[in-house]
Amino acid sequence: MKKTIIALFVLCAMVLSMSQVFAAGESALEISKVAAKPGETVGVTVSVKNSPGITAMILTIEYDDTNLTMEKVDFNIEDNNSFKMTSPTLDSGMKITWVNGLKDFEGTWLHATMTFKVSETAPAGEYPVKITGKLDASNTKEELVGFAIQNGSITVSVDSTGLNLSKTDLKLHQGASETLTATVTPPNASQSVSWESDHPNVATVDASGKVTAVSGGAATITATTADGKASATCAVTVEAHTYTGAYQTDAENHWQLCACGDQGPKTPHTFEWVMDKVATVDDTGLKHEECTVCHYKRSENTEIPKHEHILTKTDAKDPTHQEDGNIEYWTCTECGAIFEDQEGTSFITKEKTVVPKIPHTFAPEWSSDESGHFHACECGEKDGLTAHTYGDWEVTQEATASQDGSRKRTCSVCGYEQVETIPADRPVVTPPTPSETQTQPKPSASPEDPPKTGDFAAPALWVCLMAVSGLAAALTLAGKKKRK
């Protein structure tokens, strides 16, 4: 990338005292940091901080002229300062003469503003604007003055409008991995994206877009642009390892391989003795041990001593849909040899005694229950169990204030009906208010209540009252006669 170097020659002449006074704090030259979008024009400033007193300075400014164009430089001109362009353009080597100097001070002084035009096709990113090379600055004593340099930049941002992934569907075997590539549009937008998996237990994704299959299932990988304005997804299907085919073996274990080459778990052999030659009273026999799963053999040509067979009968058993059956056979208790006759003359292997279980016969029409619909075998086994696909609810009986109602919905596949009760709309009983309680009629007096006025229910009381009155009258009359 071509770099443009602009030399800003600043000649500072200033009347300074014979004893130079320096500003407190560190002296620094600072270039500002600004943000822009393609096609925009921005200003980048150059400032002097804590000037020690300057008579002359040469600055060299470097920037990326492929995506940036410097259009002009504006200097901060004070009353006693003047500038003169000594170069016809702002190309590399351009010089500016600054007449009069900059006295010492503490603080920040704006020295110049550089105006840049950002290219329409500038990619998103940070473009440095910096002071390079040797910095020449001196004071009135022609002593070199030290400055700290703080470079600036123009950060160009481009809004993303779209995001495409190298794959929108991805199938992986468990444990495998593949890296997705993301392309952001427009091309000059930031190509940085973030990645996320909605089911990391099925598939994970790292910061580079590498997808790793963890376990069988489905996951969605989402990529999002740095500004969050665009995203894209990839549907990942992880196939769990299926270990099939011929068994791999060693002396102790057997295992199978997945189609992807992954090795399945090792399982120890389960051995049993297999008869190769039946022993008789007159001749020895031979046998070997064989794994019942992978048929790995060991202890081959093991001798069976001569002996007379002592046979035990095993009755025949009919097979079912769930279990194998067997034929009638006899087994020698001494050597384990199996015979299909009780005389022990017809030797057979154990496999020959097995009657395979009856294959399921699934009806073509649908059967159903609350769990779903399926094809049923007469033994009760279910094939193709699938959840019902219900339509809308249909009210079959409206609920009233005193009676529950009902509604149903029907599976569009098998016709199964799901029925629910609609509760009755019973009124709520409200307790009486205090005012209603006060207006209730008072209860009638009980027989134990005392008699009220005008109550003739107590004759004995009246007789007593009459006797007292008569006595009082007699005493009064007697008193009158005595006075006469």
Q: Which pLDDT value is given to residue 109?
A: 82
What residues of the chain score a pLDDT lower than 70? 1-25, 54-58, 77-89, 91-103, 133-145, 426-484
Q: Which pLDDT value is given to residue 468?
A: 52
As to burial, measured by CB atoms within 10 angstroms (0-12 exposed, 13-18 middle, 19+ buried), residue 463 is exposed
Q: Which pLDDT value is given to residue 162?
A: 96
The two tokens of residue 145 are: 């003055």
Give the pairing type, strands 329-332 and 347-348. unpaired
Distance of CA 470 to the CA centre of its chain: 111
Q: Which pLDDT value is given to residue 453?
A: 46
What is the DSSP-derived secondary structure letter of residue 266?
P
The two most distant CA atoms of the chain are separated, in Å, by: 171
Q: Enumerate residues 6+ apart whose C-beta is below 8 A from 472.
A: none
Give the pairing type, strands 3-11 and 56-64. antiparallel
Q: What are phi and psi of 405, to 5 degrees?
A: -110, -170
Which residue, among 249, 258, 324, has the nearest Cα to 293 in the 3D structure? 249
Query: Which element (helix H / strand E) includes 472?
Result: helix 459-483
CB 401 within 8 A of CB 424: yes
Give the pairing type, strands 267-268 and 253-258. antiparallel
Spatial separation of the C-alpha atoms in residues 151 and 155, rounded to whole Å = 13
Spatial separation of the C-alpha atoms in residues 261 and 244, rounded to whole Å = 11
Cis peptide bond prior to 305, omega within 30° of 0: no
Q: How many CB atoms lie within 10 A of CB 224?
A: 18
What counts of helices (H) and strands (E) characterise the chain? 2, 40
Spatial separation of the C-alpha atoms in residues 405 and 395, rounded to whole Å = 8
Q: How many CB atoms lie within 10 A of CB 37?
A: 14
The two tokens of residue 80 are: 């006693």
Q: How many CB atoms lie within 10 A of CB 8?
A: 22
What is the DSSP-derived secondary structure letter of residue 51?
-
The two tokens of residue 444 are: 């009638």
Q: How many CB atoms lie within 10 A of CB 90?
A: 20
Spatial separation of the C-alpha atoms in residues 153 and 192, rounded to whole Å = 20
